[in-house]
Structure 1
Amino acid sequence: MGMTDKPLVTAILPSWNAAGFIHGTLASLDAQTYEAIEILVGDDASSDETPAILRDWAASRPHVRLILREKNLGWVGNCNDLMAQARGEYMFFAFHDDELDPDYVASLTQALQGDPEAMLAYGYMRWIEADGTERLLNGRRTGLQSTAYSRAKAMIMGTWQWHVPNHGLFRASAFSRIGGMKRNEAGEFSADFPWILHMLLLGRFVRIPRPICTKRMRGGNLSRSWERDAAAHIARDRAARREINASDLPFWQRLKLGWLIRLQRRGRT
């Protein structure tokens, strides 16, 4: 199959004050074996050297589109604007502290093409803490169940590994159908939870049973700067219920999933 026969894949790279670690992400994008790829970068008004690094990197790469924002949109706003501008049939988030294996795009594209009913494909993820402790996360079967209700129930009742699929490849149609990620009453905390929840209501996920990317946690990770108190979790859960209520599930299933979300929150407090 020639390059022109392959579906275009868009890498969505939202960056902010990442000068100390974004080089690894950029190098892993350069190393991808899949050829039909565009890279869409949005720097969210960084105050460090990130814009200069990105400008130098993008200058010699015609498949890269770089947006240097003068005003900070926030993580959700930055991601949504980039997804709205993507041209690919498939998309993935190349988060500025992630490193992708060279066959990441090729393997996940093949997995999605092999299952027309699947909405997202993901693999195992190496999770490396700031102290060097490493774990292998497999997503705990998030999105692999046969029905929309069973997928949502498993995610709500499961462990924190629900976020692993957010490092996967998804169909561009998911963005248009969901309307992007949404801020909640607490801001951006866990905005990817209702995003992934809504996506698995649209279709099942497929999983490659091996590691294909690495997440390195640092003191400056954006997600770790968000408030994580009880109010933030309540806001996240309300946002998740809104996504469920907007779905095509029967009323009783929507009602039960909302009850399960409340039950899980009581278990956390």
Structure 2
Amino acid sequence: MNRDAGTAADNPLVTIGITAYNAADTIARAVASARAQTWPCTEIVIVDDCSGDETPAVLKRLAAGPVDMRVFHQAANGGVAAARNRIVEEARGAFIAFFDDDDTSVPERVERQLARILAYERDHAGGAPVVCHTARRQLFADGSARIVPTMGIRADRPAPAGWAVAERVLIGSPLRGGYGACAACSQMARTSVFREFGGFDPAFRRGEDTDMAIRLAKAGAHFVGIEAALVEQSMTATPDKSLSGERDFALKLLEKHRDVPDRYGLFNFCREWIEAKHTWLEGRRAACLARLLSLAVRHPSRTFLRLAAAMRNWGLNADFRRFHTRGPAAR
């Protein structure tokens, strides 16, 4: 790492931030991925969220290598949002790229995301915040894989931005170029963006990245993407990843940002849609159909739009259901 070079506007330092929790078996691979990045000005900041396994010992060994990595240990387990906030606090870079403790990124990831952000800031942003995500290749325990796209991949026109992104996420409004995920494990933005908006909400142990995206969207942020899957995401089953947990955090997110659906009188519709989706994911098809019919009677056009979007993501949702209903971890 060359920190002096990182102060130059044309050669900025990028902080690669990794949250770690009970990742003794995978964290070395994640660190190797970070160290293999082609961008020459990087630092690695790792926050261990009070792991109960050998993660701290592994990190101690890894930190004894090249002087490019700083490790911090949380006094208590506060969840991934709190760990990300510690990264934001400790970052010395002008940009932060988040990596996960069980994922790997292609060597060109940081370099390509940085170039995408800088070019977009120059050509389209007009001073607004810019956040960049990439597509991901998800790897499942049964050996199957799936590409998960992100939004804003067209470089020849303005990316999805502002309130329209919040509406797309929360109420399913159509948005050109706005289809795709904004996962934190593929996220990069200026450090000042994360700090200006107060970091991630620690109340969200799941969905903290979606909450951040909505908050940024409300403030006028632009969401640029890279079509290539620059992140390989291991779909690791853990006790906190359950269908009921996903439902609870989706409802919590909707309640926090109810000003978005309330603009159109759609809060109850969105709440019922979440419940309908949950019944489908649980395999209760008759209950799901009953809920959908009820929604269609009262909100025909909106229900059609949501169903069309759901069909578009049928494969992703099927994999999501299979992931949350199989595997060695408690559900």
SS in structure 2 at match of 1:10:
strand
Residue from 111, 118, 140 that aligns with 1:129: 140
| Deviation larger for 137-146 or 47-56 | 137-146
Tell me the equivalent position of 1:250: none
Shift of 1:233: 2.8
One-letter identity of the residue aligned with 1:149:
W
DSSP 3-state at the match of 2:37 = coil
The answer on 1:256 being equivalent to 2:263 is yes
In structure 2, do the counterparts of structure 1 residues 190 and 160 end up closer, same or farther at CA, with 3 Å as the change threshold? farther
Alignment CA distance shift 1:260-1:33 (3 Å):
farther
TM-score (norm 1): 0.83
Following superposition of structure 1 onto structure 2, how do residues 141-152 of structure 1 map, counting pairs within 5 Å?
Answer: 141=152, 145-152=159-166
Quote the residue 2:271 is aligned against. Answer: 265
Gaps of 5+ in 1: 246-252
Structure 2 counterpart SS, 1:154? helix
How many residue pairs get aligned? The number is 254
RMSD: 2.8
Task: Describe how 1:36-55 pairs up with structure 2 within 5 A.
Answer: 36-55=41-60
Amino acid at match of 2:68: H
2:165, 2:269 → 1: CA distance?
17
Matched, 1:139 2:150: yes
More relative contact order, 1 or 2 (CA 8 Å, 6+ apart):
1
* CA deviation vs aligned residue, 1:64-116 (integer Å, no higher than 9, x gap): 11113343232222211221121111112111111110000000011111111
Tell me the secondary structure at the aligned position of residue 17 of structure 2. strand
Instruction: Out of 48-57 and 153-162, give the one that drifted further.
Output: 153-162
1:179: how far off? 0.5
Q: Which residue of 1 aligns with 2:168?
A: 154
Q: TM-score if structure 2 supplies the norm length?
A: 0.69
String of CA shifts for 1:15-56, please: whole Å, max 9, x gaps.
010012222211111111111111111111211111111111
Does residue 239 (structure 1) correspond to residue 256 (structure 2)? The answer is yes
- Check if 1:209 corresponds to 2:223: no
Letter in 2 for 1:119: V
| 1:138–1:161 contact (8 Å) kept in structure 2 | yes
Task: Provide closer, same or farther for how the CA distance between residues 260 and 170 of structure 1 changes in structure 2, counting only shifts above 3 A.
Answer: farther
User: SS at 1:183's partner residue?
Assistant: coil
1:164 is aligned to 2:183: yes
Contact 1:11–1:40 (CA under 8 A) maintained in structure 2: yes
Q: How far is the alpha carbon of 1:260 from its aligned partner? A: 4.5
